[in-house]
Chain A
Amino acid sequence: AQKVTQAQTEISVVEKEDVTLDCVYETRDTTYYLFWYKQPPSGELVFLIRRNSFDEQNEISGRYSWNFQKSTSSFNFTITASQVVDSAVYFCALSDTNQAGTALIFGKGTTLSVSS
């Protein structure tokens, strides 16, 4: 069965600290996609990144970076020099290959609180 685990339920940091959000996934498929979404208090999910299973290159986008390691089935997300605006719930998701379409399997989310 496919599964996404975000072991960190809540993380609190002070502004300018670096923080890493962990994501571990389970799948037997060789082709799959991994995603990170941000959910601010307004409720809508904001897309951050999509990575396919054949691309293990790390990615950096401004203060955000992602580390994908197939050997450990992990897709971790690091925010460098965190800011108060980064406070949100962050979800890691895996494409559901039992469904032919666009269905995603989400982790339970990690609530990040950044204080000034």
Chain B
Amino acid sequence: KAGVTQTPRYLIKTRGQQVTLSCSPISGHRSVSWYQQTPGQGLQFLFEYFSETQRNKGNFPGRFSGRQFSNSRSEMNVSTLELGDSALYLCASSSGQGASYEQYFGPGTRLTVT
């Protein structure tokens, strides 16, 4: 079974631009969560999508948004990029919603904002 895939793996953007990251969950998984990892703040929950609906959202500004498609693939978008948005963005998928379900993480997209 293929794991969680994320594209692109690396990205360099300029302040003020916007960016879209993609995540393909494990086949059959309907829940997709996104996390931001930075050296200063560590791993922080961004949001979770289940059956194309955003179920939960972390404490991030509205510049961070996402969506989920009918095939469970998810995208996250960051508008008006700031230097502080430089981070590793990790996507995780699970077969159901809730902490009792194991989350499988992808390799991440490393975003650098200059």
**Is the C-beta of B31 less than 8 angstroms from some C-beta in chain A?**
yes
Interface residues on B, range: 20 to 34
**Is the C-beta of A90 less than 8 angstroms from some C-beta in chain B?**
no
Instruction: Return chain B residues, CB-CB under 8 Å to A100.
Output: 55-56, 97-98
**The one of A43, A93, A103, A107 that contacts B48, using a Cβ cutoff of 8 Å:** A103
**The one of B33, B88, B100, B105 that contacts A103, using a Cβ cutoff of 8 Å:** B33
Instruction: Return chain A residues, CB-CB under 8 Å to B55.
Output: 100-101
Given known A44-B90, A45-B105, A47-B104, contact A101–B42 (CB-CB < 8 A): no
Whether B103 contacts A106 by the Cβ 8 Å rule is no
Whether A44 contacts B33 by the Cβ 8 Å rule is no
B27-63 interface with A by 8 A CB criterion: 31, 33, 35, 42-45, 48, 50, 55-56, 58
**Which residues on B are within 8 Å of A, measured CB to CB?**
4, 31, 33, 35, 42-45, 48, 50, 55-56, 58, 88, 90, 92, 94, 97-108, 110
